[in-house]
Structure 1
Amino acid sequence: MSYIKLSPQSGSPSKCGRRVGQNYKIGFYLKTAKPGQDKKHLPKAEGSVPSQARDKSETYIIEYRPAMVRFASVAVVGSAMAGVASVAIAGSKVDYQSGAVHAHIMARKMEHWKEEEQAGLMNSAQYPELGYTPCVNGFAAAIPGDSMNTFRCRNVDLYHFLPHTALGSSVGRGSSSWGWTSADGREFVVVGQMDGAAFAEITQEGKLSYLGRLPPHSVPNMWREIRVVNDLVVIGSEALGHGVQFLDLKKLLTLDPARPKTFAQSDLTGYWNGLPSGRAHNVVVNEERNYAVAVGAVAADARGQMIRPHDLPCGGGLIFLDISDPANITSPGCAGGDGYVHDAQCLVYRGPDARYHGRDICYGYNEDTLTIYDVTDKTGNVTNIISISDYPGATYVHQGAVNNDQWQEYLFLDDEYDEEFATVGPMARGLTTTHIFDIRDLEKPVYTGQYAGKTRGNDHNQYMHDGFLYQSNYGNGLSVLDVASVTSDPTGAGICEAARFDIYPEDDEEVGGGRVRTSGTWSSYAKFQSGFILVHTIERGTFVVKMTSKECEKPASCSADNCMRALRASHIPGRLEESQQFCWDFTRRLNKDATKVPEYAAKACGSDPVQRVSSACACIPAPTVPVMTRTDTFRYWPTLYPTPTAS
């Protein structure tokens, strides 16, 4: 049986109208109609959608009957921004439930990526292999004098870069990625591409050594999600008919990089495809309890468009996979009580809420809410929802991470599209924003504040490791945040950026220092013992970087010399504002051109004006990033998946 959201008033699926303490259960009945057969006279049979449901000669209709969904708490979080209404703004509740918001976002991405393809940016063969390059004075100049291969950075050195073509892909277009460490300490990466997943080893020198690839189980697709549980890689995709692939990564240990291997589907350790149309937006794993979860599994119409019928089995929610025997993977049930789940973090609960200690908890990022589930019981498809919360400006609740797996007190959440659509807080200026929840009471999460980056850009994925939050923020690249202060100051005011590496220099000179668009890095992985960090990108390929320090930036040491006085000259109307704009523009690139220094500064800064003015600019406050002009509003977009052309 399967479970969906249910309104107590009407019996129809809804996120509205729920009352705490009411229990519902929904079991589905299947009717099968042969061509020409009258559907009204078919018998009803309780069970699961059979594998032959993909047979186009039959029509399947799913009906729901009452059975069980439990809600512990439904909370609309009080605003941490005074006077601001707490509401998801990209669309109405119905728009989220129907999938219209998700379809809109995915179509926007596809339109943008099509533009990048037409501009030649998706041809990864044009991006050269890059070797070790230290970060010096805020830049890693991998190719001196080439602004497109000079990367803004702080406390991060570049060790290696390989384009998608060097990682076996004819199409490129990177997506998710993950890492694996073998029993003997070797470090490997698995990176998603439109035409499959590539495998590489990170050598002791920090270089990528390409080993082979696993093609998709069906057609190419941009969305390919990857996780690792123990020695097993789990790969899902939005591609129709793809299912979930499982491969024992120990098979990589004997591969020869001189002869990269293309795995066949017969090489898989396991495969499961009990999904409505073979597609899942994401896959999740619980390493401690050794299970996997497919989320965001929706149906598709005859043209391949996403559809979310209200009676979809499991509602696009958490579909649990028993992987104890990888060769015979089964699903004991699902939790669809809050509908579509975009991503989740599933952990054994350890934290201050004694009611849930030791239980299996999933933190669900459900498009317009943070939904916390107790998934200890994965059989019988009973949904136990602990709480449902939102926050000011919620637009597309995308992904997140708790501050400490071993003591879960706070949660960091990224909203993929609040920078584009929200009109409150730092999101209104398009600044990458991380939202903070106090989850010490799982039944009553409290929204406590946010951390805003200094440049414009969408956020995407983030993970905790050793007390630091590693973020892949599209065009802003890798950002490493020191979040230790959140336990004493949950407003986020004490959070600071310890390191960064901007892998997308194309937008560095935009207003706000970046572009609110889905270009750049999709994912990163920072859990290697060696300290090497994988940064995987959409257009270019894969970077290997390493931090040189985890110290946050300190205020610049400023001396009131002639150079500084010239830039700040308060007796000259408008001079400070002029200098602010000059410094912003001048320092966005690695600049050695003295002719770009304005005359008033060149005269005052002496014989080495570039060096002197660069130092002085560190003491000039950056211009305020203005509120972003919105040129687009929510609307319905088609979401067909065209077959890509090889780059």
Structure 2
Amino acid sequence: MVRINSAALLGSAMIGLSSAAGAGTKAEYASGEVHHRIMGIKMAQWEAESEAGLMDSARYPELGYTPCVDGFAAAIPGDVNNTFRCRNIDLYHFLSHEQLGSWGGRGSSSWGWTSADGREFVAIGQYDGTAFAEISKEGKLVYLGRLPQYDSIGSNWREIRIVGDIVVIGSEAIKHGVQFFDMKKVLDLDPANPKNFTQADLTGHWDELPVGRTHNIVVNHELNYAIACGSVGGNATIRVRDELPCRGGLIFLDISDPTNVTSPGCAAGDGYVHDAECLVYRGPDARYYGRDICYGYNEDTLTIYDVTDKNGNVTNIISISDYPGAQYVHQGVVNNETWQEYLFLDDEFDERDAKVGPMTQGLPTTHIFDIRDLENPVYTGYYAGKTRSIDHNQYIVGGYLYQSNYGNGLNVLDVSSVTKDPTGAGICEAGFFDIYPEDDEEEGGGKVQFAGSWSSYANFKSGFVFVHTIERGSFVVKMTSKECPKAPVCNADNCLRALRANSVPGRLEESVEFCGNFTTRQRTEESLLPEYASKACVENNNKKPVERVSSACACIPTPVVPELPRTTTRPPVPTVLPPKA
């Protein structure tokens, strides 16, 4: 039975919110028009960044260990574009795309692998292939070599997952297919002489996709299979979903013998699947305990499948759900693989186009579903980030939600409260590392754009977190604490009194605006202080005026991020993607 759950029926979580038109009509989602538009916007932006030199690896030097001190990691002191906003996370190392062997740059997906003897490696998606690096015990990235793209051109989209020792690589490029590569081949490589692998080094290659492209790769680690999803037909400029047997849905890959990959069938019943998480179900819904369940992120819905039977093109859909303001249901993750009760979901277009909820402010919004009844998921609430950005990918490690949120970089959320308070009100940010300082002084602390971090991997025993970016390259960071922020201690000294003086009309409002701008960068110049602060915040107890003002600003109300303008008309797809025939 398929249960369809509409946001209009979701109860108390919807108070103050209502359903609003998504990024297109149902037919426009089904045809691929919505996805075509989003890809066009991304490509137009990346081409503009390239023309502005932001994709040039030469502008991004290698960076070494830099602690996060007073909210900033100043990797190059005085250089605003190499000083990163942070909390509870230190920088250990950064290498550019060029230093990771790429001529094309443009980072995408990445995944981690731990060898049998405990060494930690990453497979790194780039325009022109997959780079391999080891993370040393000191947190250094050691470049070892690369596997080139299977196609002749390259792609902005390269998706990577690892099952056991086998890395599975898909791409949006025509004729790419799915590559299978044994990570053990990198164990003995000499970093002084990086290895350029060839297609002959592949363990296997599956070439039965409609035209060789797939938007995403999904794996079930426990059951040892893979999925190609978002695989459509057409050519380099036209994407076609109609009349395909799998319609861009879940294409199952039997990888028990990675030298001879086969497909037993696909699940096409709800059409295109952008991403999915497939797990053996362990949770309170006894009807499905032990079944193979896929949580599908299907552009305009959360669709839950029972994929226990993968033979033949048969689809068993358990439920289909939407939520208020849904624009492009992108990716998500359950709260606990061993007891699946709640699900966190990101929407890649709601910060830009949604007309309800905190997304209208351009704040990255994590949506929460109660999935204790798989046939009737319930939207229970959300968590909104603090600075403007778009959310992209997220994973649970040890009860913490690690998010790659484009310009915000890495955000780590403590989501342990959700089982007791599923509204999201108890979620807090345990740490963050902003890898894209270029937009820090924008209104709202960032820009709603597809720039910055694409992916991250946090499942290393060492605690190192790998963060991969589109423009720059790759970061290795590590959390120093997972303690959520506490309310600042606000001593009403002369400095703080001056900033919020009620006796001066408009003074508090002036200070709110000043502090909102002042704290976006690491400041040292006293000349930046307003006269009233300079006079009141003189050096005291060895704290210089700038330090005293920074402390006082923590006790001033945070500026409200205003709503972004929304339009009722949708612009045409940028011409960087030729129009559909």
Q: Is the 8 A contact 2:101 2:146 kept in 1?
A: yes
Is the counterpart of residue 317 in structure 1 residue 249 in structure 2? Answer: yes
Report the equivalent of 2:160: 226
Is the counterpart of residue 508 in structure 1 residue 449 in structure 2? Answer: no
- What CA RMSD, in Å, does the superposition of the two structures yield over aligned residues? 1.2
Deviation by residue 1:493-542 (Cα, 9 ceiling, x = unmatched)? 00000000000000000000000000000000000000000000000000
Is the counterpart of residue 260 in structure 1 residue 260 in structure 2? Answer: no
Is the counterpart of residue 282 in structure 1 residue 212 in structure 2? Answer: no
Deviation by residue 1:618-647 (Cα, 9 ceiling, x = unmatched)? 0001110001123694344267669xxxxx
Is the counterpart of residue 152 in structure 1 residue 89 in structure 2? Answer: no
Deviation, 1:307, is: 1.9
| Identity among equivalent pairs (%) | 70
Paired letter, 1:235 = I
Matches of 2:231 and 2:445, distance apart in 1: 36
SS across alignment from 1:320: strand
Is the counterpart of residue 246 in structure 1 residue 180 in structure 2? Answer: yes
Deviation by residue 1:30-60 (Cα, 9 ceiling, x = unmatched)? xxxxxxxxxxxxxxxxxxxxxxxxxxxxxxx
Deviation by residue 1:215-262 (Cα, 9 ceiling, x = unmatched)? 111021000000000100000000011000000100011111111111
How do 1:616-635 and structure 2 match up within 5 A? 616-630=552-566, 633-635=569-571
How do 1:317-336 and structure 2 match up within 5 A? 317-336=249-268
SS across alignment from 1:392: coil
Report the equivalent of 1:167: 100
Deviation, 1:88, is: 4.6
Paired letter, 2:508 = L
SS across alignment from 2:386: strand
Deviation by residue 1:12-45 (Cα, 9 ceiling, x = unmatched)? xxxxxxxxxxxxxxxxxxxxxxxxxxxxxxxxxx
Deviation, 1:609, is: 1.3
Deviation, 1:306, is: 1.3
Deviation, 1:87, is: 4.4
Matches of 1:484 and 1:274, distance apart in 2: 42
Q: Is the 8 A contact 2:20 2:354 kept in 1?
A: no
Report the equivalent of 2:65: 132
Paired letter, 2:98 = T
Larger radius of gyration between Structure 1 and Structure 2: 1
Aligned residues: 570
Report the equivalent of 2:241: 308
Change (3 A) 1:390 1:252: same
Moved more, 98-107 or 605-614: 605-614
Matches of 1:140 and 1:632, distance apart in 2: 41
SS across alignment from 2:189: coil
Counterpart among 350, 355, 376 of residue 444 in structure 1? 376
Matches of 1:496 and 1:278, distance apart in 2: 42
Deviation, 1:573, is: 1.3
Deviation, 1:312, is: 1.3
Report the equivalent of 1:98: 31
Q: Is the 8 A contact 2:346 2:366 kept in 1?
A: yes
Q: Is the 8 A contact 2:2 2:320 kept in 1?
A: no
Q: Is the 8 A contact 2:302 2:321 kept in 1?
A: yes
SS across alignment from 1:74: strand
Q: Is the 8 A contact 2:180 2:258 kept in 1?
A: yes
Counterpart among 387, 390, 397 of residue 319 in structure 2? 387
Q: Is the 8 A contact 1:296 1:316 kept in 2?
A: yes
Matches of 1:546 and 1:342, distance apart in 2: 30
Deviation by residue 1:455-510 (Cα, 9 ceiling, x = unmatched)? 11100000000000000000000000000000000000000000000000000000
How do 1:18-37 and structure 2 match up within 5 A? none
Report the equivalent of 1:190: 123
Paired letter, 2:2 = A
Runs of at least 4 residues off by over 4 Å: 638-642
Matches of 2:2 and 2:566, distance apart in 1: 38
Matches of 1:348 and 1:639, distance apart in 2: 43
How do 1:202-221 and structure 2 match up within 5 A? 202-218=135-151, 219-221=153-155
Report the equivalent of 1:31: none
Paired letter, 2:565 = T
Matches of 1:304 and 1:81, distance apart in 2: 40
Q: Is the 8 A contact 1:74 1:388 kept in 2?
A: yes
How do 1:323-472 and structure 2 match up within 5 A? 323-472=255-404
Q: Is the 8 A contact 1:127 1:163 kept in 2?
A: yes
SS across alignment from 1:102: helix
Matches of 2:3 and 2:440, distance apart in 1: 44
Deviation, 1:82, is: 1.9
Output the TM-score relative to the length of structure 2. Answer: 0.97
Report the equivalent of 1:72: 2
Deviation, 1:83, is: 5.0
Paired letter, 2:511 = S
SS across alignment from 1:332: strand
Counterpart among 158, 161, 169 of residue 235 in structure 1? 169
Is the counterpart of residue 564 in structure 1 residue 500 in structure 2? Answer: no
Report the equivalent of 1:67: none
Counterpart among 28, 37, 44 of residue 111 in structure 1? 44
Matches of 1:510 and 1:591, distance apart in 2: 16
Counterpart among 434, 458, 462 of residue 530 in structure 1? 462
Matches of 1:83 and 1:579, distance apart in 2: 31
Q: Is the 8 A contact 2:44 2:574 kept in 1?
A: no
Paired letter, 1:157 = D
Output the TM-score relative to the length of structure 1. Answer: 0.87
Deviation, 1:570, is: 1.0
